[in-house]
Amino acid sequence: MPLTTIHHGSLEYLTAGTIPVPHAFTTRYGGVSRGDQASLNLACCDSDPRENVEQNIRILAGALEFDPAKLVLTRQTHSDIVRPVTSADALGLCHRDYPECDGLVTAEAGVALLAFTADCTPVLLYDPVTGAVGAVHAGWRGTAKAIAAKAVEAMVRNYGSRPRDIRAAVGPNIAQCHFETDDDVPQAMLAAFGDQARDYIQRRGEKFHLDLKGLNALALRRAGVEDITLGDECTYCQNGRFWSHRVTRGRRGSQGAVIVCRGGGQ
């Protein structure tokens, strides 16, 4: 099942039909930022005034109807750290103010979670039985560390979720068509996933192309998740719609994967 595009005024984002709570994989459209960060940049950076980023987050919060004061952000380092959080962990709208992590989970009603991407793989998680949710940033290093599976494990450990109940959505990233690497990346995947990883690796001359959406889905299935929506959007191919770190060579903003906990069972 593909992702669905939603327009809310000038704001554009994508959603998964299997997740009924407010959530979004954002695009570049609908914010107030300018220049290389135009227009819905969600991550503070030196070239985009902080007030622009905060206004962009408020625009997104208005569309998804969550309280920005209860939004918790990742501070990403390509780790496999997943933090269970509550509203007490909401430290403002700048990711630089947060502890290091690449994944967040919560079961507190009203709390929203936001992870950032610009080629890496975003994963959103939702448990309709406990109401718990998760948001994950999976770069290739995080993918090799199975961070998506570790977020599932954190939901099981902290909120009593059962993996078979959890619904996952994997959002826009740099797809296999353009994720070209040297030998170190496929070797890391083979070390992590064994021979099953070969289905997601293509050799093209001296280089390799990897399907990071597929590898994250593999990690989720190994963790016991059965309901997985895979988007087919490529941030490199659609770099006018999404930021691509490779296309811009770092002169970019960041899109986000956000999900809101409604609490209880839905």
pLDDT of residue 220: 98
- CA angle, 42 then 47 then 53, to 5°: 25
Which whole number is the average pLDDT over 187-195?
A: 98
CA distances from 107 to 30, 110, 128, 130, 145 (A): 29, 9, 11, 7, 24
d(CA 154, CA 84): 7
The confidence band for 66, taking pLDDT boundaries of 50, 70 and 90, is: very high
d(CA 157, CA 151): 10
pLDDT of residue 193: 98
User: If you average pLDDT over every residue of the chain, what do you get?
Assistant: 97
- Helix, strand, or coil (residue 249): coil
Write the pLDDT tens digit of every residue in 27-49: 999 999 999 999 999 999 999 99
What is the percent of the chain where pLDDT is above 90? 98
Is the model's pLDDT at 266 over the cut of 80? Answer: no
- DSSP for 44-74, written as a single string: -BTTB-HHHHHHHHHHHHHHHT--GGGEEE-
Burial tier of 15 (Cβ tally within 10 Å: 0-12, 13-18, 19+) = buried
Domains of the chain (ranges; CATH) run 4-260 (3.60.140.10)
Q: DSSP state, 22?
A: S
What is the percent of the chain where pLDDT is above 70? 99
pLDDT of residue 249: 95
Contact 117, 254 (CB under 8 A): yes
The confidence band for 23, taking pLDDT boundaries of 50, 70 and 90, is: very high
Which whole number is the average pLDDT over 102-130?
A: 98
Is the model's pLDDT at 55 over the cut of 60? Answer: yes
The confidence band for 264, taking pLDDT boundaries of 50, 70 and 90, is: confident
Write the pLDDT tens digit of every residue in 233-254: 999 999 999 999 999 999 999 9
Contact 160, 115 (CB under 8 A): no
Contact 105, 83 (CB under 8 A): yes
Is the model's pLDDT at 1 over the cut of 80? Answer: no
